[in-house]
Structure formats: C-alpha cells, structure tokens
Amino acid sequence: MLTKDHASWGYTASTGLGFTSGEIVDAHFEACATHYQAALDQAGIRSGWHVLDAGCGTGAFLPWLADVIGADGRLSAIDLAEENVGLAAARMSSGRSGRSGRSVEARQGDILNLPYADDTFDAVWCANTTQYLDDEEILRALGELRRVVRPGGIVAVKDLDAALITVRPADPFLFTDFFRRAAGAPGYARQLLRTRDLHRWLAAAGLVSVRQQTMLIEHHAPLDPAVLRFYSLACARIAQQAVDLGVDGDWRPFLDPENPTGPLRHPHGYISEGNTVAVGVVPPAPAR
C-alpha cells in the first residue's frame, strides 16, 4: 500500500498514506456530500441487512448506512488507521451523527486480511479505499470482501476518478497533464486513474452481475465555503508536486490555498472530479 510518493501528497494518517487524515477526508466528504449520498444510493443495500463499511475512515458514511439498514440492521466498520476507528465509533455514539446511541462494531484491521468469518455480511460498502492498493492488492482485497459476504449479497466499491479533474478558468488539461506525468511510475497517482476499471477487477474477483456507473461531480462559482476549503488545499498539494516534477503549465495560482485571485475564487470558477461506483453480487456456492 505505502509507496514512496505518499509523503508528497501530505495529510497522512498514522498509516503514512497520503490524503487519509481526518482533516482532509472530512473536508472532502463535506464538499461532496450530496454526490456521495447519490453514490451510496447506487449500491443497492437494503433494510435489515448486516453491512460492513470497509475502510470506514472517520465514519462519515456510517450515519447514512444506518439510515439505509434501519433499526433491524447491523453495522460494522473497519479501518487501517487506529485513530479512525475511535472517531468512527464516536461519531455514531456521541450524537454528532444525529443518531445518538446507534451501535457500530468498529475495529482496526486490514482489508487485505479481514478479521471476519466467511459469509458474515449481507453487503460490504468500500469507499475511497481501493485507490491505496496496487494491482495485486486490489484483487486480494476484493477477494476478501467477497469472502465475508454471503452468497447473493453484494460488494459495492466507490472511488475517485481523477481523470475527470479539471479547473476553470485555467488550462483545462493542466491537472490531466500532472496525473499523466505522475502516473508514469507506480504509486498513488496511477491508482487514482484506474477507477473506471473497477468493473473489471470485481469480475476478476469472481463477482457476478457486475454493474458500474461514473458520475461527474461539478462545482460552480461562487463555490460553497466547504468546497472552496477542500479544493484549495488539494489543488495546492497537487500544484507543488507538479512544480517538483517539472510538469509544464502555470501552477502558480494554485500554490497558495488562500490566493484571493486564484481560479477557484474567480467569478466563473469551476472544478470537477468523478465518482465511480461498481457493484457485484457474490455467486451461489458451488453444488457438491
């Protein structure tokens, strides 16, 4: 999981993985909340199910998952970062979620080796996590997700599609050029461009009836404060990496997140990214 490029992305949690600290994860969730809700709606999770949030982060999806499964459902969560496990459990028990007292079994663990028995869950929701896995690891992780879901249950994976990132008014290919250059070596950037292949990975893991949808996330000026905050920080980190890599283009307007004349604060400012949701069904066990 941890490749040498992660330090340059910043916002690392205790795992050392870039863009995984609560500060930046929660900012991204707040900026894209309506789009994230639409992504979860694509999963097909049902009332009364036992659902695992695999790679739960600080638990931002847990209240919504609780709404979907209802009072008769059960909710479990796992994350690689120990601090996130505590934050996720606290989110559900403290009332911050608006669902005070709703229990969730949250634990620290690795999706490459899930600490659950076969067929434990009716569904798994895995959001913004496969981007941290290399090609060998993603297949292993999907195999684990399939293993812990009962036959007929679902594995739903959502992740960021960086190929859809663009900012206006600026060179519309500026960020595309960065990702193309950075993805020349194995690491995080390359994995952020792999998202629309998720359907292929789910099928390779043995899931059936695989479906996939990619949704464009667009933000138009005047940008909401939460949107402006997250994307100003994220663009600044990418811009610094682009400068360090020698990627052509005018990155100066993005280097300072507080730049009052930057493209994101322009009267015609615009930024986009993508959400891809891939869902597969665990096939019936072979007849004996």
Q: What is the pLDDT of residues 242-253, one digit of tens each?
A: 999 999 999 999
282 has a pLDDT exceeding 90: yes
Region 95-108: mean pLDDT is 69
**Euclidean distance between CA atoms 68 and 46, whole angstroms:** 6
Q: Over 80: is that where the pLDDT of 102 sits?
A: no
4 vs 28: which has the higher pLDDT: 28
Lowest-confidence pick of 10-24, 106-120, 158-172: 10-24
Residue 154 to residue 145: CA distance in whole angstroms: 9
* C-alpha to C-alpha distance for 105 and 77, rounded to whole angstroms: 6
- Percent of the chain surpassing pLDDT 70: 95
Q: CB–CB of 59/94 below 8 Å?
A: no
What is the rounded distance in angstroms from the CA atom of residue 68 to the CA atom of residue 90? 20
Residues 161, 149, 200, CA angle at the centre, nearest 5°? 35
Pick the CATH number of 6-281 from 3.30.413.10, 3.40.50.10490, 3.40.190.290, 3.40.50.150: 3.40.50.150
Residue 52 has pLDDT above 80, yes or no: yes
Q: What are phi and psi of 120, to 5 degrees?
A: -75, -35
Closest CA to 39 of 220, 164, 209, 161: 161
Mean pLDDT across 59-79? 96
Strand partners, 123: 51, 154
| Residue 224, number of CB atoms within 10 A of its CB | 12
Going by the DSSP 8-state scheme, the letter that residue 258 receives in this structure is T
SS3 state at 141: helix
pLDDT of residue 6: 82
pLDDT-derived band at 2 (thresholds 50, 70, 90) equals low
Task: Look up the pTM and report it.
Answer: 0.94
Whether the pLDDT of residue 99 is over 60: the answer is no
Question: Is the pLDDT score of 100 beyond 50?
Answer: no
Residue the block writes with tokens 């811009």: 239
Q: Which pLDDT does position 101 carry in this prediction?
A: 52
